[in-house]
Structure 1
Amino acid sequence: MPKKIKVLWVLTSIVIVLGFFFTSIKFQVQQSREDHKRRAEESRIAYEEKLAKRKAAMALSKKVENIREMVASGKNKKAIILAKEVVEKDPENALARTWWAVALVNLKKMDEAIEMFKASSSKDPNQAKTYQFWGLTLVKMGRYQEAIDKYENALLLEPENSNGFTYWGAALGQMGRHKEAVEKLIKALDLNPFNKLAYGVLVDSYFHLGDYPKAWETVKNAKKQKLTIPEGTLSRLRKVSPEKG
């Protein structure tokens, strides 16, 4: 092969190789840019979806709070309508079901309320509030031992809940188990020395045990905390004990 042709062939080969090389680099750069744009777009979409979910969750949380306020103000039927709306949008929402159940209790629909408490606990077994209201409902139905079981469930989740021990003590008192009731009520007051209900139930428990000095001592302790005992409880105590609170 003549020298000039050989040189030309080599140069041509080099040009072709360089052409492929630069074309490959250009393609890779372009591909990298497209990948970057795609990832950026995916990140933007993911962020917007996350933001939308957060806003939706906040809106539902606000509605659940509205349900609670409706129940507290006696607007039970409206509370149930809103609870249904929340549950339709968020089938796993346990707290909406709990307030729905409380509204049913207020409407004297006890059996329906119990079923709703069951549904709530199945969605979220870690809601102490559900078990506590469930227990209070069972007390209204005269099912005291079942109520105690629910209070125990609530206290396993919130062991420092003074009201839980108060309700437990009150249920024991309804069953005539006043010594056990005293233990729970003292525990309630250890956790919260300003628990007015616990003082009242404790005075009543001492009354039924015939321990009138302890009953009056509890009355005095309540007064030290600037709390009052129900007049009916004091009236019963005064009839059997001359000591005044």
Structure 2
Amino acid sequence: MDPILPIIAGLILITVVALVSIKKRFAENSDFWFSMGMILADFGKYERAARCCERAVRIYPFYVHAWNNWGLALLKLGRHEEALERLEEALTLNPALGEGWYNKGIVLEKLHREGEAEEAFERARSLGVSP
């Protein structure tokens, strides 16, 4: 038997163990899923972006920006009621999230709730966010 074969087999085993470890770290990393969601949204893949943000908040339920971006992805998909729910969750976690108030205003406009939308936009402006 060639003496190099056990060395190659060992290297393959080490590589497989390393890949499994890396995969597990990514699977349990909310920042990874949030980042993937942002990248997918940039490419117009809103359904997949929404799923990534959902995964991020399942890992870390207090991930305000993942809730916000999940709402944005749902907005782009025309799922306005669901988008509003996600944005309201983000704002429950951080009422000072100006971007969240602005996004909520957009969703409320889509739902023809203009009075509430203007209140959300005003709140966003008071937090330094404007169109």
Picking from 25, 31, 51, the partner of 1:129 is 31
Gaps of 5+ in 2: 1-16
Paired residues in the alignment total: 114
TM-score (ref. length: structure 1): 0.43
Does 1:196 pair with 2:98? yes
Q: Distance in 2 between matches of 1:185 and 1:140?
A: 19
TM-score (ref. length: structure 2): 0.77
Q: Distance in 2 between matches of 1:120 and 1:139?
A: 27
Query: Residue deviations 1:32-83, cap 9 Å, x none?
Result: xxxxxxxxxxxxxxxxxxxxxxxxxxxxxxxxxxxxxxxxxxxxxxxxxxxx
Match in the other structure for 2:109: 207
Does 1:184 pair with 2:71? no
Match in the other structure for 2:3: none
Deviation at 1:183, TM superposition (A): 0.9
Does 1:230 pair with 2:130? yes
Instruction: Confirm or deny: 8 A CA contact 2:105 2:120 kept in the other structure.
Output: yes
Query: Residue deviations 1:1-41, cap 9 Å, x none?
Result: xxxxxxxxxxxxxxxxxxxxxxxxxxxxxxxxxxxxxxxxx
Instruction: Confirm or deny: 8 A CA contact 1:162 1:191 kept in the other structure.
Output: yes
Deviation at 1:220, TM superposition (A): 3.1
Q: For CA contacts below 8 A with separation 6 or more, give which structure has more relative contact order.
A: 2
Deviation at 1:219, TM superposition (A): 2.4
Deviation at 1:120, TM superposition (A): 9.4
Match in the other structure for 1:171: 73
Query: Residue deviations 1:131-161, cap 9 Å, x none?
Result: 0000111111111111111111111111011
Deviation at 1:178, TM superposition (A): 1.2
Q: Distance in 1 between matches of 2:36 and 2:97?
A: 21
The RMSD of aligned alpha carbons is: 2.3
Q: Distance in 1 between matches of 2:22 and 2:36?
A: 10
Picking from 147, 154, 159, the partner of 2:49 is 147
Which letter maps to 1:122?
K
Gaps of 5+ in 1: 1-90, 95-118, 232-245
Q: Distance in 2 between matches of 1:196 and 1:121?
A: 35
Q: Distance in 2 between matches of 1:219 and 1:230?
A: 8
Which letter maps to 2:32?
T
1:129/1:197 Cα in 2 relative to 1: closer, same or farther (>3 Å)?
same
Which letter maps to 2:78?
G
**Which portions of structure 1, spanning 4 or more consecutive aligned residues, are displaced by more than 6 angstroms?**
none
